[in-house]
Amino acid sequence: MKNALLFIFATLTAAFASTSYMLYTNQQGKPIGSLPDQLAKTPQFAPSAKTYQGQIFVVTRGGESIPLGGLFVSFHSLQVIKDYELRMYQALASDVAKYSEKFEKQYMKYAATEAIYNEVVEKQQYKKYKTIRGMLDDEERYLRYAYENLLYVSGAKPYAEAAPESAITTQTDASGKFSLTLPADEPLVAATCTSREVSDKTERYCWFINMDGSKAVLMNNHNVLGKRSDDSAIKTPGLPLDCKQWQECAAVVYAVKQAYAPYAVTAAK
C-alpha cells in the first residue's frame, strides 16, 4: 500500500511539474510558447543613457555673439518632427503662394524702375533724376512691404505657434547651454523657438536640430529654421530676416514658393 501511494504521488508531481512548463495559451486557448520562450522574447536591456548637450546663441550683424538663456528645449522623435513639418507645409501653402506672387509682381515693377533710374544716372539726365529717384524709393518701399508679409506667413512665427509639445524638456542657462541625459537608442530632435527685439523690429528664430548624443551641438544663425543645414531636421527654405540685395532675395522667394507649391495644390483640393 505504501509503495502504491508513493507511485501515485510521484506521478502527480511529475504531472504538475510538466504543467508548469506547458505552453502558454492566448485568450483563444492556442499555445504561444513556453516560459523560457517568452523570456527569450523579452528585451533584456534598457536603452543606454546618452547626454544631449549644446549651446544656443545668435550672431549680430556686428559680429557679437548673444547667448540665449532661459529657453526651453524640447526633445522629439524624428517622426514627430516630420509629421509636424508636413502639417506646416499644408497649413502655410496657400498663404505662401498668395504673398510670393504679390512679391514677384512688385519686384518686376521695382526692377523696371531701377533700370530707368540706372539709365538716367548713366546719361547724367539731372532734370529727371529727382523724379525717378522718388519713384524708385516708392517701389522699393512697396517691395519691402510685400517681402515682410511673405516672411511673416512663412517664417519662424507660424512654426513657433504650432510647434509640437513634449514631456521631455530642459532649459538653457545664462550662457545658452543645455544638457540632458536620456535613455534613448534612436536619434532625437532638439526643438526650440524664440524672438528678439532689434531696434523697431522683432526677429524670430526656430531650431529643429538632429542629435544623437555623441557630441555637443551649436544652434545659431547657421542652422536656424530656413537655412537647410545638414543637421536640421526640417529642410524648408526660408527668407533672410532682412533683405539687402533684392535680386538675391527674389531667388530665395522663388525657392520658397516652389517648396510649398505641391502642398498648395493639395490644400486647394
Give 17-55 pLDDT, tens digit per residue.
333 323 333 333 434 333 334 334 445 556 788 999 999
Alpha carbon distance 269, 250 (integer Å) = 28
In this prediction, residue 172 carries a pLDDT of 99
In which order are the strands placed within the sheet that holds 188-198? 169-171, 72-77, 188-198, 201-211
Q: Distance between CA 7 and CA 13 in Å, rounded?
A: 10
The whole-number pLDDT of residue 61 equals: 85
Q: What is the pTM for the complete model shown?
A: 0.79
Residue 151's alpha-carbon distances to 9, 81, 143, in angstroms, are 85, 22, 12
The structural domains of the chain, with segments of one domain joined by +, span 49-268
Q: Is 139 exposed, middle or buried (0-12, 13-18, 19+ CB in 10 A)?
A: buried
Residue 257 pLDDT: 98
Q: What is the pLDDT of residues 188-227, one digit of tens each?
A: 999 999 999 988 889 999 999 999 999 999 999 999 999 9
Helix (H) or strand (E) holding 246: helix 246-268
| pLDDT digits 0-9 by tens, 87-124 | 999 999 999 999 999 999 999 999 999 999 999 999 99
* DSSP codes, 20-85: TTSPEE-TTS-EEE-HHHHHHHS--SPPPEEEEEEEEEEE-TTS-EEE-TT-EEEEEEHHHHHHHH
Label residue 155 by pLDDT band (50, 70, 90). very high
pLDDT at residue 44, as a whole number:
52
| DSSP percent split of the chain into helix, strand, coil, nearest 5 | 50, 25, 30
- At 180, is the secondary structure helix, strand, or coil? strand
Higher per-residue pLDDT: 72 or 267: 72
Grid cell at residue 162: 504650432
